[in-house]
Amino acid sequence: MTEFEKMRSQQLYNFENKDVLKHVDKANRICARLSNLTVNSPEYRSLIEELVPGIPASSTINPPFHCDFGNGIRIGKHTFINYDAVMLDGGIITIGSHCKIGPRCQFYTPQHPIDYKEREMPVETCLPITIGDNCWLGGGVIVCPGVTIGDRCIIAAGSVVTRNIPSDSLAAGNPAVVKRSLQHEQ
SS3 string of the chain?
Answer: CCHHHHHHCCCCEECCCHHHHHHHHHHHHHHHHHCCCCCCCCCHHHHHHHHCCCCCCCCEECCCEEECCCCCEEECCCCEECCCEEEECCCCEEECCCCEECCCCEEECEECCCCHHHHCCCEEEECCEEECCCCEECCCCEECCCCEECCCCEECCCCEECCCECCCEEEEECCEEEEEECCCCC
How far apart are the C-alpha atoms of 125 and 9, rounded to whole Å? Answer: 9
User: Is 78 annotated in the active site?
Assistant: no
How far apart are the C-alpha atoms of 118 and 100, rounded to whole Å? Answer: 38
Between strands 123-126 and 13-14, the pairing is antiparallel
Of the residues 66, 78, 98, 112, only one is catalytic, namely: 112
Q: Active-site positions?
A: 112
